[in-house]
Chains A and B, each alone.
Chain A
Amino acid sequence: MNCQGQLMTQPPPPRPHPGLFKRNPPIAGEAEAIEAAKRGDGEAFARLYDLHKRRVYTLCLRMLGNVSAAEDMTQNAFLHLFRKIESFRGESAFSTWLHRLTVNLVLMQLRKRGLNLVSLEETINPSDEDTPRRDFGSRDQVLAGSVDRVALERAVAALPPGYRMVFVLHDVEGYEHNEIASMLDCSIGNSKSQLHKARLRLRELLRNPSQLPQSPLPSAPAESVK
């Protein structure tokens, strides 16, 4: 798999994405803040930062797994945003546009650090230790119908970087396989395969929660999905 493809630091031409639109409904006052920010209004920048800082930072933290790197990346993403905001034409949700920009910046940094090559190769040719076991598991080891969000967050943090990237992009952020394939410069089949392996690994990790590391993310309310 070639993972050296071109990455855009500019958001791509906006295009509809039903999943993300559903998850990114318009925010009151956002449109006015965007227009004011395009005119260089500092207070509007502050408003946009306030509206989106948590989501951007959480995404960075989840993908990078490190508070300091995530803060630097958040800073970088908003600087890109504010410097290029006049190119936002409103054809997609602003948060979708900002998310895509952030994801691209994170991927670019991971590639600069050489982590992507290692991590994505790992997921294609994983070592024995990294490969999710292919057995279906005995039924007394199933997840008992629910998963604790905090435990899942910790399990995600424990994934190899390549698995984590695809899992976060697809299952958390809502990107489709064709979009992930485009972003990671890999095939759609590879994206599906990586996601499946990531879920299998998470299943293994969640069966042994006592062995999970601490997540860099703060504890969310310990709700579980049934």
Chain B
Amino acid sequence: MTLPVNIDFDSLKPEEFEHILPDLFATVDGKVSQDPRLKKFLAANPDCAALVSDLEIIAETARSLFEPVAEPSDRVWQNIQAKLQEDSALASIDDDYIDPDAPID
């Protein structure tokens, strides 16, 4: 889905607007309400303007969710440490491995 090249924004109908809205959001960096091509259309179609406003608010609020709010229990780090120690022990076994077929000096 890409934005059609020859859109007549002045004669846009609400159902056409709805169809191109996902692309509009992607092409104008989420600021559909500030797109000058849509100024007249949104002024004439307040329900479409309300939809755009709501979706922009949702996207904007979502960005604030990026900051972490949860912390794993201590069990997670304990398990990681145990696994890393296992890895380390296995590596040292590999280092100590003596090939039974190797010639004796």
Contacts and interface: CB of A to CB of B under 8 A. Distances in A.
A139 B64 CA distance: 25
A42 B84 contact: yes
Contacts of B22: 192-193, 195-196
Interface in A56-96: 57-58, 61-62, 70-71, 74-75, 78-79, 82-83
A206 interface: yes
A55 to B, nearest CB: 4
B21 interface: yes
B11 interface: no
Interface in A194-211: 195-196, 199-200, 202-203, 206
Contacts of B84: 42, 45, 79, 82
B54 A139 contact: no
B102 interface: no
Interface in B30-72: 46-48, 50-51, 53-55, 57-72
Nearest to B50: A142
A71 B66 contact: no
B80 interface: yes
B57 A145 contact: yes
A194 B82 CA distance: 40
Contacts of A177: 26
Contacts of A83: 87
A139 B72 contact: no
A173 B23 CA distance: 20
B72 A74 contact: yes
Nearest to B23: A192
Nearest to A226: B57
B76 A71 contact: yes
Nearest to B85: A42
Given A136-B51, A138-B47, A172-B63, A49 B80 contact: yes
Closest 4 A/B residue pairs (Cβ): A189-B1, A54-B68, A171-B62, A196-B22
Given A71-B73, A147-B61, 13 more contacts: A46-B77, A71-B72, A79-B80, A139-B46, A149-B65, A152-B58, A152-B65, A171-B58, A177-B26, A189-B1, A192-B22, A202-B58, A203-B55
Interface of A: 23, 40, 42, 45-46, 49, 53-55, 57-58, 61-62, 70-71, 74-75, 78-79, 82-83, 134, 136-139, 142-143, 145-147, 149, 152-153, 156, 167, 171-174, 177, 187, 189-190, 192-193, 195-196, 199-200, 202-203, 206, 217-220, 223-225
Interface of B: 1-2, 14, 18, 21-23, 25-26, 46-48, 50-51, 53-55, 57-73, 75-77, 79-81, 83-84, 87-88
